[in-house]
Amino acid sequence: MITSLYASLIAFILIILSIRVIAARGNPAFKFFTLKSDDEFTLERVIRGHSNLIEYAPIFLILLYFFEIAKFDLFYVHAFGFIFLIGRLMHGYCFAFTKKNMFLRVSGTALTLGCILNISIILFINFI
């Protein structure tokens, strides 16, 4: 099942972002992951990067699963999974590891929403 591959890869990203949040909150066990930025602005960005993944990943994975079991070409299942993964990596990196990067933020969001929108439209049309 292809969806489980992307679910596990997204979970790895979630773990990295979670550790980054723990480090930004000042846990001494993860001091190496603070990256010498321990101000309130950094903490807020790191938390938003983490929570943003949590907000979008579940609906995407549900849609991807339905897309996969609807017997669409596996190439497209992988394509949507990979594009979403790249979008989430771009967005997560932007928020958790940079002060500001509009290219990564906007591109990551566009890839994320583009995947969700396209799969939604395809599934809806297939249902009709």
Task: Write out pLDDT tens, residues 21-80.
Answer: 988 888 777 776 666 666 778 889 999 999 999 999 999 999 999 999 999 999 999 999
DSSP per residue, the chain: -HHHHHHHHHHHHHHHHHHHHHHHTT-GGGGGGSTT--SHHHHHHHHHHHHHHHHHHHHHHHHHHHHHHTT--HHHHHHHHHHHHHHHHHHHHHHHH-S--HHHHHHHHHHHHHHHHHHHHHHHHHH-
pLDDT (0 to 100) of residue 80:
98
Predicted TM-score (pTM) of the model is 0.92
Each residue's pLDDT tens digit, 107-122: 999 999 999 999 999 9
Q: What is the mean pLDDT of the chain?
A: 92
User: Could you list the residue range(s) of the whole structural domain that residue 101 is in?
Assistant: 2-127
* Number of compact structural domains in the chain: 1
- CATH number of the domain that 122 lies in? 1.20.120.550
